[in-house]
Structure 1
Amino acid sequence: MNYCKLSPEHKGLWSVHLAILLLGGTGLFAQLVELPALDITFYRCAIAAILLWAVLLFSQQRIRLVSKKDIAPMLFLAVLVVSHWVTYFYAMQWSSVAMGMIALYTYPVITVLIEPAITKKPLQRADLVCATVVFFGIVIMLPHDSQDANLVAGLLLGVLSALLFAGRNLLYKYKLSHYNGPQTMFYQVVNGALMLLPFFFQGISGNGLPPLHDAYLLILLGTVFTALPHALLVTSLRHLAAKSVALIACLQPLYGLLFAAVVLAEIPTWQTLAGGALVLSGTLYETLKPAKNMP
Structure 2
Amino acid sequence: MRPQQSALLSLHSAVLLFGGTALFSKLISLSALDITVYRTAVAFVVLLLLLKIQRQPIKLIHKKDYLTALVLGVIVGLHWVTYFASMQMAGIAVGIIAFFTYPVITVFLEPLFTRSRVQLKDFISASAVLFGIYLLVPEANLGNQVTLGIITGVFSGALFALRNLLQKRFFSHYSGPHTMLYQTLVACLMLLAFVEVSIQQVSTENLWLILLAGAIFTAIPHALFASSLRYLSATTAGLISCLQPLYGTLLAYILLHETLTLTTLLGGLLVVSAACFETWSITRKKA
User: How many residues were matched structurally?
Assistant: 286
1:21 aligns with 2:13: no
Conservation of the 8 A alpha-carbon contact between 1:35 and 1:207: no
TM-score (norm 1): 0.93
Give a deviation string over 1:110-131, Cα, whole Å, max 9, x none.
0011101211332111111111
Distance 2:227 2:199 in 1: 37
1:251 aligns with 2:243: yes
Of the three residues 137, 146, 151, the one matched with 2:146 is 151
Report the secondary structure of 1:240's partner residue: coil
Q: Partner residue of 1:166?
A: 161
Q: Partner residue of 2:209?
A: 217
Give a deviation string over 1:191-239, Cα, whole Å, max 9, x none.
1111122222xxx457863100000000000011111111000011111
Give a deviation string over 1:28-54, Cα, whole Å, max 9, x none.
110011000000000110000011111
1:281 aligns with 2:273: yes
Conservation of the 8 A alpha-carbon contact between 2:238 and 2:283: no
- Residues 1:288 and 1:275: Cα distance change in structure 2 (over 3 Å): same
Of the three residues 109, 113, 121, the one matched with 1:118 is 113
- Residues 1:157 and 1:16: Cα distance change in structure 2 (over 3 Å): same
Give a deviation string over 1:118-154, Cα, whole Å, max 9, x none.
1133211111111111111101110138697000000
Q: Is there any run of 5+ residues in structure 1 with no aligned partner, and where? A: 1-5
Conservation of the 8 A alpha-carbon contact between 1:102 and 1:279: yes
Distance 2:41 2:221 in 1: 16
Distance 2:140 2:276 in 1: 30
Distance 1:147 1:157 in 2: 11
Q: Partner residue of 1:3?
A: none
1:270 aligns with 2:262: yes
TM-score (norm 2): 0.95
Report the secondary structure of 1:238's partner residue: coil
The one-letter code matched in structure 1 to 2:65 is D
- Residues 1:253 and 1:291: Cα distance change in structure 2 (over 3 Å): closer
Report the secondary structure of 1:120's partner residue: coil
Percent of aligned pairs sharing the same letter: 45
Distance 1:176 1:120 in 2: 19
Report the secondary structure of 2:145's partner residue: helix
- Residues 1:188 and 1:291: Cα distance change in structure 2 (over 3 Å): closer
Conservation of the 8 A alpha-carbon contact between 1:31 and 1:93: yes
Residue correspondence of structure 1 range 132-147 to structure 2 within 5 A: 132-144=127-139
Of the three residues 157, 171, 174, the one matched with 1:176 is 171
Residue correspondence of structure 1 range 22-37 to structure 2 within 5 A: 22-37=17-32
- Residues 1:207 and 1:179: Cα distance change in structure 2 (over 3 Å): closer
Give a deviation string over 1:171-202, Cα, whole Å, max 9, x none.
110000011111001001111111122222xx
Moved over 6 A (4+): none
Residue correspondence of structure 1 range 23-172 to structure 2 within 5 A: 23-144=18-139, 149-172=144-167
Q: Is there any run of 5+ residues in structure 2 with no aligned partner, and where? A: none
RMSD: 1.7
